[in-house]
Structure 1
Amino acid sequence: MIITKQHIITRLVLIQLFFIGCIGFANEIKVASIDEFNSAIKSVKAGDRIILKNGEWKDVKLVVKGQGTSENPIVIEAEESGKVFITGDSSLKIAGTHLIVKGLWFKNGFTSDKSVISFRVNSKEFATHSRLTDCAITYYNPSSKATDYKWVSVWGKNNRVDHNYFAGKTNSGTTLVVWLKGEQHIQNNHRIDHNYFGERPSLGFNGGETIRIGTSKNSLLSSRTIVEDNVFEKCNGEVEIISNKSCDNVYRNNLFLESEGVLTLRHGNRCLIESNVFIGNQKPNTGGIRIINAGHVVRNNLMMNLTGDGFRGPIVIMNGVPNSPANRYHQVKDVNIQNNTIINCSPIQLCAGKDEERSLAPINTVFANNLIFNDKNGDIATVHDKLDGFKFYGNILDSEKGFNQSGFTKVKVNWDALDNILYIPKTTNEELIKNSKPEGKPTKLDITGTKRDTFVAGAYNLGNNKLPKALVLQSGTSWDSKVTPQKPIVTSEIIEVEPGIGTLRKALKKASTGSILKLKPGEYILEKGIKVSNSITIEGNSEDKKPLLKVKEGLEKNPTYFFRVEGGTMLRLKNLEISGELNTPIKYAVVSPDKGISEPYSVFINNCYIHDFKNKNGSSVYKGYKGTFADTLSIVNSRIENVYRGINLSEEKDDTGKYSAQVVYIDNTIFKDIEQWAVNYYRGGTDESTLGGKLVIDNSVFSNVGNIEKGTVLKTNGIVWVDIKNSVFEKSYKVVNPVNLKGAKNSISNCVIFECGTVKTTKGASAKDIQYKNPKWDDKNNFIPSEKSPLLKTKRIGLKWEAKK
């Protein structure tokens, strides 16, 4: 069952911050401008309250300094919570003791500082016993996603961040960081609770965590931070939703909903992870807990319908590096993983990441009394190295598949459905009781905090009808927390466009988001490149008589491109012919936003004929600029011919793990007579924080592509997931390796290679059912196979002509 917000009792609620209302304030000072605020803060004393007038506060640097007491804190608050809007280039800094900031909303802006909100003014002035509550930061981003700043930086000791709302961060930098730089900031006892961390899209490189506690350099210092009762929904910035990089922290009663990543114990020791709920709803790449380092306890957690594999599994226990530097992987040891329940998830990962560097398997690690239910015929675990250092006992498998390891017993569990969303073992479960083994230090409470009278494997007591706290907690602000921007109602307005000079540009000026521009047969002459600033569709009226888009002859300066897609938009091109042919050929058919634009975009090309982009000064049919990121680039049922280069996604050459598109999908498409490569999709470096890109090629033909010395057809350096299937590679006589795949998730299958070298695979990549045979065309230009073609003798190889009619 898909668990929705309606099923979950967790919600953004109206909470009464009664403790503030009960305090007797010495002075109440109302301010309406930054000058009035600065004047008031200079003389503020314990018990005073400064009230910011409702409305917009633009380009303000709020510095809150003062010395309150526990009985008489200094409070800085909005006149009405949620009605003081901090916009433009603004920030908030807090230094002193017993300070409370309440009710501010940072929106429609960015900051030129290192953080939007910081619990310090400088290295000598920082906050203690202070609080940020009932505030929001939403979509507070710079123009470039490469610009790094944090939303909240927590310094000092004994500070609290609670009942806030954070959503929509698109630029580099962790959403919330706890810093441990200096004696004044270690063993800090901070509390991060009852916050709502909303959607964070994939960043495409390292630095997209939602919470980080510490850094690699100080990861062996004690933080003692508690992270509890928070919601993390669609936090997809990178693999580490939470990155633990310090010691002695607690993570409990948090809800992770449809978030593409894991709670990661990246560095540091002796952390407690208990009673958290991870719900994936079968969404891709959703995960649970990843374990590195020593002395952790992971217990009473519930994982449901998680699909992530590799480092995004439901439970991932890593291999370590001998004599590991601070920023790599310390060996897992003295870790206790008990009484977790895993329901219909992808396999747990044991000794994950094993390679020549990560060669140390976990030692003295207990994996006990965990309950795994799977009625989807899914595998239980993936083992990457020897398990000698594990102690397995009391683990229960209610599944079709077993796991050939002592300490795991197949048992048919009697389940009850709590509120039709949760599986709870019934009181009548003798076999479950019998095969659970409370050795060592068994957990005394279950996931709901109920005492365990009868000990059984899993997170739940038998017959317990209480919901976990993570599903009934109250998170977010006291005011209307529906703070995500209102999505415009998209109406598919159809605009008929006549052939002619400039007619397409004029029509686009009238188009709004969602518009469909219908082009009649004929020629559409461009005098300038077109910037696409709304999500639109441009399509020909007929699949056969495609309208022709070309650039006007004789211009003093030719445009560089036909279409530039702006950030945050989607461009669909359908049933079009686009020609770059001129005396000096046009460089690009489509380009990404300009360098460093933060918002992702998408391009979909269907049934288009794109040709004669032959400018040898770096031209290509499609180019993604450095620092930009496409959610999806899709090319289907199309033909790309007589061009210098095909798809260029190779600008990110800093080798820091960045790449230019999350998914590249090519189906039923011809690449013919291309001087260099058809696709160049690059991801350099060893960064492991992202999904790493995905290229899917199906039922396509590559003919005379990259037919030069040291040429190639497809360049996929560092891309994690490559799936090439049912395709033909031919007539690239000088090519040695048309495809060079590296990594376990790289594969090529059911393909024909003819006069085009041989496929090369290394580092676990696979090649299956490759035929080095003549494809035998009946129509060589349109790649229609003859009756005797090997393309027709197995699963269909080559074009799907029924889709190209």
Structure 2
Amino acid sequence: MKKRNNPLLLIATLLLAMNAGYSQRIPVKDNQELKSALNKAKPGDSIVLANGTWKDMPLFITTSGSAEKPIVIMAETPGGVKCTGNSFIRFGSDHVTVSGLHFTDGYAVKESIVDFRKGDNLANHCRLTQCVFENFSKPSRSDDDHWITLWGKKNRIDHCVIGNKLNTGTTLIVELNDERSQHNEHSIDSNYFKGREPLGSNGGETIRIGVSRYSLTSSNTLVHHNYFERCNGEVEIISVKSCNNRLTENTFFESEGGLVLRHGSGNIVLNNIFIGNNKPYTGGVRVINPGHTVANNLFIDLAGKGFHGGFTVLNGVPGSPLNRYMQVTDTDIHHNTFVNCKTILFGAGKDEERTLPPARVTFRDNFIQTNNATVYEDANKDGGITFTNNRYSAKTVAAAPAGFVAEKPTLTAITWAGQQFKIPTGKYGADLSKLNWMSAANTGAVWFRPEQSVVRKPSVHTVAAADSQQLNAIINNAAPGDIIELTEVGLYKITDPLVISKPVVIQSAAGLKAKPELVSIATTGLPAFMVIESGGSLNAGGIIFNSAYENYGAVRSGIATASKPTSAHYILKVDGCEFINFGEGGHVCIKASKGTYADSVLISNCIFRNNAGMGIDYGAEKDDKGIYNVAYMRVENSVFANTLSGAINVYRGGNDESTTGPSVHINHCTFHNVENRMQGTVVKLIGVQVASITNSVFNFSGKGGRIIWLEEMAWDDLKVDYCNVYDSGRISTFFGKATGKNIRNRKPSFKDAASNDFRLAQTNGLIGNDNKPMGVL
């Protein structure tokens, strides 16, 4: 393990390098002076931006330096210049360095934040260093852009912090669709890629090198000594779509996805470290196309399966076009170490289209330490993989597979970023002396220190029924995380939706004999009682949402996201609430709008009753491009009763394979007299990749169609089991494999359905897999 370089020494070295051949130091304090300085700059000049906030800063660079005398554009103090609003950089010349800028609190309206071209002029031998990019996403998740785009030749991006792009589009791309940008020899090194939240669609890569159209072209890009922390945008963290690139000495930490050799050939993956800590979907390397080398990499505790596996070699498509899957051939995989990885799979993606197995692939001198029952999986078993001189350590493997010898390894303890790992060492597997354990401490801008979140005790704001009209003002003035407490039983009358633009809790006070009831006294209908806007998250508890009150306008939703798309994620928790009298088909008790994305939606101990509209609707993304509204949904111990429309709808259309969600779990719920119209569906989960419906009761529901409708891919993980289905519709799945053996068909007896007590009066054998009665508890 290499020691971190002294930050002061790094800065001093950087300043010396930037001032080599120093000619003139030009201080500037605003955009006008910056423009003038750029027009007058000569090789060797340094343009120094005054510390402070530079809003809407256009940095157009058209004057070139030279190898001996580069032009330098730098902050007065590294990190002292904040570029906000519509700020951007356009490198349109050669031998220019930009250093020490902090891009935050804005977004580039057009194209990239940093583009290594201006018009038709491409940049060569230019450098972006010691810069930080954060909180610079476009407002809408569907607005496509890239933060940094490399053109030209021999440009370098180094020692930058690049964090959490929320909207569609790869964070950093290397373009090849200009002959002047091919065989480019760019360097992307020593950067800290500080996370990327799941996008919920394709287009969430952190780095992409090339594109399928030019994938047979050499890029010769070097990606090395970077740290990727929780880069979870989609299945591909780095997507290589070109030839002859080197990806070396990078560290990937708890990232949901992998380094993917998607197109192209002759790429080298060497001396990288992948650490999953058994987090779901964490992956390593995925190999497609011919002629690659994957050597001396370390894979630790990667829990991903299938395309997200620790190591996967895919099947190809016969006669594949450039944008599909070419056969893996002539690939050398050697001296890698795998420690407790859930999936090592050859022939991944095998289906009716991907039928070409890997051929002339060598897997040699590797070490696999596994807790699985098998050392690896081979979907083809046709000899296309040659296993030679490998070692493994396992407790449950019955016999050594061909090309492997069981061996008790010598373990070397490695301490990294406060964690300790015990890694097998020896003649086989990775040579640890060649690995550089990158981290936040030895990558990125040396001046950057992330703001530390301060844990504060939330304030409680009490609201009596008579003060209902003050609710919006109270929410607006509350701090993030505060609690808005409704203190009285009775009607809370509002005239406008409650706007949630920060994380808040809205709940009934403890000890009340009944729930406070939200009603509208607006003369016209309201879109919702509570609207979650950008930046908001909501925890709602112990409230009745009554859509129809006297002769006032109806409320169309209990809780909804704003109709305007947003890139900010949110969390919704609803516990112990009732949703009643949403009396029209277009009404929805809980609703997500197109262009919004929930990390999690957690519904518990709720009642949805006497509604014409749907209960929970997260099916607004209808474009069939693999986009969805919620990553994880859990509905438990809840009742849906006497409802004209369906209970739960989650939709992910299309056949895109780049994402992990949605994941939906329904447990101990009761559905009584729900959606009995012709072709109706009670629970519709289209394209959901992980789902379980367990310990639930369906009674007199879905009679004209289905109680459950699943449209799944062959590899999706679905389970419907320990449920009671009586006088109800059918369970419909595409492959017919989701339904378990414990589906009952017995008439349930409820304690007091007229009073909305849908607990079973007698179990009559209706016991779930947790030894509790089925249905609501």
TM-score w.r.t. structure 1 length?
A: 0.90
User: Taking structure 1 as reference, are residues 469 and 591 closer, same or farther at Cα in structure 2, changes over 3 Å only?
Assistant: closer
Within the candidate set 714, 717, 730, 1:758 is matched to 730
Q: 1:794 Cα deviation (Å)?
A: 6.1
Distance 2:374 2:5 in 1: 34
Residue in 1 that maps onto 2:563: 594
Checking the alignment, whether the CA contact within 8 Å between 1:336 and 1:367 is kept in structure 2 is yes
Checking the alignment, whether the CA contact within 8 Å between 2:519 and 2:545 is kept in structure 1 is no
Moved more, 406-415 or 337-346: 406-415
Distance 2:453 2:228 in 1: 21
Within the candidate set 663, 678, 693, 1:724 is matched to 693
Checking the alignment, whether the CA contact within 8 Å between 1:93 and 1:119 is kept in structure 2 is yes
Within the candidate set 599, 608, 617, 1:631 is matched to 599
1:392 aligns with 2:387: yes
The one-letter code sitting in structure 2 at the alignment partner of 1:724 is: I
Residue in 1 that maps onto 2:528: 561
Please give the residue correspondences for 1:630-669 in structure 2 after superposition, counting only pairs within 5 Å: 630-643=598-611, 644-669=613-638
The one-letter code sitting in structure 2 at the alignment partner of 1:611 is: I
Distance 1:646 1:688 in 2: 29
Residue in 2 that maps onto 1:381: 376
Q: 1:79 Cα deviation (Å)?
A: 1.5
The one-letter code sitting in structure 1 at the alignment partner of 2:748 is: K
Distance 2:559 2:507 in 1: 15
1:61 aligns with 2:58: yes
Checking the alignment, whether the CA contact within 8 Å between 2:589 and 2:614 is kept in structure 1 is yes
1:361 aligns with 2:330: no
Residue in 2 that maps onto 1:4: none
Distance 1:800 1:755 in 2: 16
Residue in 2 that maps onto 1:452: none
What CA deviation, in whole Å up to 9, does each residue of 1:295-335 have, x standing for no partner? Answer: 01001111111111111111011111111122111111111
User: Taking structure 1 as reference, are residues 550 and 576 closer, same or farther at Cα in structure 2, changes over 3 Å only?
Assistant: closer
The one-letter code sitting in structure 1 at the alignment partner of 2:308 is: R
1:712 aligns with 2:681: yes
The one-letter code sitting in structure 1 at the alignment partner of 2:216 is: L
Residue in 2 that maps onto 1:112: 109
SS at match of 1:769: coil
Checking the alignment, whether the CA contact within 8 Å between 1:543 and 1:575 is kept in structure 2 is no
Q: 1:148 Cα deviation (Å)?
A: 1.5
Residue in 2 that maps onto 1:671: 640
Distance 2:564 2:381 in 1: 46
Residue in 2 that maps onto 1:270: 266
Residue in 2 that maps onto 1:790: 765
The one-letter code sitting in structure 1 at the alignment partner of 2:117 is: R
Distance 2:376 2:512 in 1: 51
SS at match of 2:78: coil
Residue in 2 that maps onto 1:450: none
Q: 1:544 Cα deviation (Å)?
A: 6.7
SS at match of 1:38: helix
Please give the residue correspondences for 1:224-263 in structure 2 after superposition, counting only pairs within 5 Å: 224-263=220-259
Please give the residue correspondences for 1:51-450 in structure 2 after superposition, counting only pairs within 5 Å: 51-122=48-119, 124-374=120-370, 376-377=371-372, 380-402=375-397, 405-419=401-415, 421-425=420-424
SS at match of 1:496: strand
Checking the alignment, whether the CA contact within 8 Å between 1:606 and 1:637 is kept in structure 2 is yes
The one-letter code sitting in structure 2 at the alignment partner of 1:93 is: R
User: Taking structure 1 as reference, are residues 506 and 166 closer, same or farther at Cα in structure 2, changes over 3 Å only?
Assistant: closer
Distance 1:800 1:672 in 2: 12
1:610 aligns with 2:579: yes
Checking the alignment, whether the CA contact within 8 Å between 2:722 and 2:768 is kept in structure 1 is no
User: Taking structure 1 as reference, are residues 606 and 404 closer, same or farther at Cα in structure 2, changes over 3 Å only?
Assistant: farther
Distance 1:320 1:543 in 2: 63
Distance 1:280 1:12 in 2: 29
Checking the alignment, whether the CA contact within 8 Å between 2:622 and 2:653 is kept in structure 1 is yes
SS at match of 1:67: coil
Unaligned runs of 5+ in 2: none
Distance 2:452 2:412 in 1: 40
Checking the alignment, whether the CA contact within 8 Å between 1:751 and 1:771 is kept in structure 2 is yes
The one-letter code sitting in structure 2 at the alignment partner of 1:30 is: P
Checking the alignment, whether the CA contact within 8 Å between 1:229 and 1:473 is kept in structure 2 is no
The one-letter code sitting in structure 1 at the alignment partner of 2:708 is: V
Q: 1:467 Cα deviation (Å)?
A: 6.1
Distance 2:680 2:32 in 1: 65
Checking the alignment, whether the CA contact within 8 Å between 1:241 and 1:262 is kept in structure 2 is yes
User: Taking structure 1 as reference, are residues 370 and 137 closer, same or farther at Cα in structure 2, changes over 3 Å only?
Assistant: same
What CA deviation, in whole Å up to 9, does each residue of 1:174-217 have, x standing for no partner? Answer: 11111001210100011110011102111111111111100111
CA RMSD of aligned residues (A): 2.3
Distance 1:258 1:11 in 2: 25
User: Taking structure 1 as reference, are residues 248 and 773 closer, same or farther at Cα in structure 2, changes over 3 Å only?
Assistant: same
Give the number of aligned pairs.
Answer: 759
The one-letter code sitting in structure 1 at the alignment partner of 2:55 is: K
1:682 aligns with 2:645: no
Checking the alignment, whether the CA contact within 8 Å between 2:520 and 2:554 is kept in structure 1 is no
Within the candidate set 442, 451, 457, 2:428 is matched to 457
User: Taking structure 1 as reference, are residues 350 and 13 closer, same or farther at Cα in structure 2, changes over 3 Å only?
Assistant: farther
Checking the alignment, whether the CA contact within 8 Å between 2:192 and 2:444 is kept in structure 1 is yes
The one-letter code sitting in structure 2 at the alignment partner of 1:70 is: A
Distance 2:17 2:589 in 1: 61
Checking the alignment, whether the CA contact within 8 Å between 2:491 and 2:519 is kept in structure 1 is no
Distance 2:405 2:24 in 1: 67
State the identity as a percent.
35
Q: Which runs of 4+ in 1 moved over 6 A?
A: 7-12
The one-letter code sitting in structure 2 at the alignment partner of 1:627 is: G
Within the candidate set 491, 499, 504, 2:465 is matched to 499
Distance 2:590 2:472 in 1: 20
User: Taking structure 1 as reference, are residues 628 and 566 closer, same or farther at Cα in structure 2, changes over 3 Å only?
Assistant: same
Distance 2:61 2:151 in 1: 14
Residue in 2 that maps onto 1:451: none
SS at match of 1:739: strand
User: Taking structure 1 as reference, are residues 487 and 546 closer, same or farther at Cα in structure 2, changes over 3 Å only?
Assistant: farther
Distance 1:331 1:717 in 2: 31
Q: 1:509 Cα deviation (Å)?
A: 3.7
User: Taking structure 1 as reference, are residues 414 and 613 closer, same or farther at Cα in structure 2, changes over 3 Å only?
Assistant: same
The one-letter code sitting in structure 1 at the alignment partner of 2:329 is: K
SS at match of 2:330: coil
What CA deviation, in whole Å up to 9, does each residue of 1:559-616 have, x standing for no partner? Answer: 2210011223221111222211235532100001333111001110111122111222
Q: 1:489 Cα deviation (Å)?
A: 3.8
Moved more, 627-636 or 638-647: 638-647
What CA deviation, in whole Å up to 9, does each residue of 1:101-149 have, x standing for no partner? Answer: 1111111111112100011001x20111111111111111221121111
What CA deviation, in whole Å up to 9, does each residue of 1:342-400 have, x standing for no partner? Answer: 112212122111111112111111122221113x4565434433443111122222112
1:576 aligns with 2:551: no
Within the candidate set 490, 493, 502, 1:522 is matched to 490
TM-score w.r.t. structure 2 length?
A: 0.93
SS at match of 2:593: coil
SS at match of 2:746: coil
Within the candidate set 717, 738, 762, 1:745 is matched to 717
The one-letter code sitting in structure 2 at the alignment partner of 1:84 is: V
What CA deviation, in whole Å up to 9, does each residue of 1:641-680 have, x standing for no partner? Answer: 1222111111111111110010111111111122121111
Moved more, 628-637 or 540-549: 540-549
SS at match of 1:502: helix
SS at match of 2:599: strand
